[in-house]
Amino acid sequence: MAGQRTILHADMDAFYASVEQRDRPELRGRPVVVGGAPEARGVVAAASYEARAFGVRSALPMSRALRLCPEAVRVSPRFDRYGEVSRQVMAVFRSMTPLIEPLSLDEAFLDITMQTTAHGGAEAAARRLKAEVRRVTALNVSIGGGANKTVAKIASDAGKPDGLLIVAAGAERAFLAPLPIRALSGIGPKAEALLTAAGIRTIGELAEADAGQLERMFGSRGVQLREMARGIDQRPVEPVQERKSISAETTFAHDVVDGSDLRQELRRLADEAARRLRERRMRARTIVLKLRYSNFRTITRRATRAQPTDERDVIAGEAERLLDVVVEPGDRFRLIGVTCGHLSGLEASGQLSLWAPGDARATPAGDAKL
Ligand SMILES: [Mg+2]
């Protein structure tokens, strides 16, 4: 089909825990839980598959995790190490295509539309990528693929661990239909509860739902969700040239929930980024929001504008909109950051990192910078 894309979603399996098991052979085959100490009210940042068999999951309080699985070995997170491995993994991805969009340390979208034929098809390309990640890092990556981001992401989840699942062109809707709505990346607990109350439990049911009803529930996002449920998603894979970016971020002394403090800090960071852009007579076309949750999961989400900007209100508005999309009730954050990328203007070179005053802890290198 003309215009058919091939998108892969690659996601390392139990990333932090797998790195620990790789680096410490005595941990292999044992339940490993990465996270803070239970005495310090730590939470689980990652659990090995052996620990998951006991019901241990990310974001559980560590005390609870150790009750579920008393023989688990707890390991404190080593973000420098994970950042190092992350850079190796992203370099492997980039060796296949320059069109990679990292979503976190261990997860990225790749647009391999132009490379598929040379590799003998999407599945062969994905297989090669898995083998190369394994050769370089000795770790497993799960890969899903298909015509767009929605399908690729769900396919990588469906295949875990050590998965490889390519959804054939034309089969998107049938693949998605039987899955629960929460499998869609735009649907968190809040949206899931609303949809379930409306009798919509599967992606297939969402695909058939009334547009007006969805719009009343979710605004303009409602129709986009239904399109995704139908296997339609035009969003491009957006590589960020992080070497040409300006970042401002804050690590909080205590975890912060969504509310006026978080929003105020976000606007302050936007203000700081805008000021530095103007100082350098540059404008940004992408605004990236970075969030680190209390369980150490770190995500980035980006918005791309048609017109580059150096205006504080525009940058803050985009960042807040991204926050609105990802935040769920009860989420707690230990870090928030704003990066302005795709700069145009004078001397758009060099990563300019702006640490917030009083920021005690360096962020893992290569995190949002990938
Ligand atoms: Mg992962």
pLDDT at 240: 66
CB atoms within 10 A of CB 70: 9
Is 365 a domain residue? no
Tell me how far the alpha carbon of residue 63 lies from the centroid of ligand 1, in angstroms.
23
**Measured distance CA(302)–CA(288) in Å, rounded:** 4
For residue 356, how far is its CA from the centre of ligand 1 (angstroms)?
Answer: 29
Q: Ligand 1 centre and the CA of 11: distance in Å?
A: 5
| Residue carrying the six token digits 């995790």 | 65
pLDDT at 21: 98
Question: Are 192 and 49 contained in the same domain?
Answer: no
180 lies in a domain? Answer: yes
154: domain CATH number is: 3.30.70.270
pTM of the model: 0.72
Give 309 Cα–ligand 1 centroid separation in angstroms: 33
SS3 call for 251: strand
Nearest to 15 by CA among 50, 47, 51: 47
Total structural domains in the chain? 4
Find the 329 Cα to ligand 1 centroid distance in Å: 23
| Lookup result for tokens 């145009």 | 344
Q: How far is ligand 1, taken at its centre, from the CA of residue 18, in Å?
A: 10
Q: Are residues 152 and 181 in the same domain?
A: no
Residue 87 resides in a domain: yes
Distance CA 100, CA 211 (A): 33
Residue 292 falls inside a structural domain: yes
Last residue of some domain: 118, 148, 166?
166
CA of 152 to the centre of ligand 1 (A): 14
Cα-to-centroid distance, 20 and ligand 1 (Å): 14
Does residue 341 share a domain with residue 254? yes
Q: Which residue has the tokens 């986009």?
A: 224
Query: Given 147, 166, 185, which residue is the final one in a domain?
Result: 166
**Active site residue ranges:** 107
Who surrounds ion ligand 1 at CB < 5 A? 11-12, 15, 106
Torsion angle defined by CA atoms of residues 80, 84, 90 and 96, in that order, rounded to the nearest 10 degrees: 180
Å from CA of 133 to ligand 1 middle: 13
| Domain co-membership, 11 together with 120 | yes
Residue 264 sits in the same domain as residue 351: yes
Domain annotation covers residue 107: yes
Q: Are residues 329 and 260 in the same domain?
A: yes
Residues 6+ apart with CB under 8 A from 289: 266, 300, 301, 302, 319, 322, 323, 326, 336, 337, 338
> In this structure, which amino acid lies at residue 144?
G
Last residue of a domain, one of 52, 78, 104: 78
Q: Are residues 206 and 259 in the same domain?
A: no
For the chain, residues with pLDDT lower than 70 are 1-2, 240-243, 346-370
Same domain, 176 and 162: no
- Same domain, yes or no, for 154 and 51? no
pLDDT (tens digit, 9 = 90+) per residue, 137-172? 999 999 999 999 999 999 999 999 999 999 999 999
Ligand 1 center to 223 CA (angstroms) = 29
CATH code of the domain covering residue 199: 1.10.150.20
Q: Tell me whether residue 297 is in a domain.
A: yes
Residue 255 falls within a domain, yes or no? yes
Whether residue 369 is contained in a domain is answered as no
Q: Which domain holds residue 29?
A: 16-78
Q: How far is the CA of 104 from the centre of ligand 1 (A)?
A: 9
Same domain, 115 and 11: yes
Q: CB–CB of 9/155 below 8 Å?
A: yes
Task: State the pLDDT at residue 34.
Answer: 96
Distance CA(192)–CA(159), nearest Å, equals: 23
Residues 304 and 219 in one domain: no
User: Is residue 121 located within the same domain as residue 11?
Assistant: yes
CA distance 85 to 270: 30
Residue 306's alpha-carbon distances to 103, 216, 243, 285, 309, in angstroms, are: 22, 28, 21, 7, 9
With both helix axes pointing from N to C terminus, report the angle between 79-96 and 15-23 in degrees, rounded to the nearest 10.
110
Instruction: Tokens 């109350």: give the residue.
Output: 197
Describe the crossing of helices 189-197 and 211-218 by its angle, rounded to 10 degrees.
140
Q: Which CATH number do you get for residue 61?
A: 3.40.1170.60
Contacts with 215 (C-beta within 8 Å, 6 or more apart), sequence order: 222, 223
Q: List pLDDT tens digits, range 302-346.
A: 998 888 999 999 999 999 999 998 998 889 999 999 999 988 874
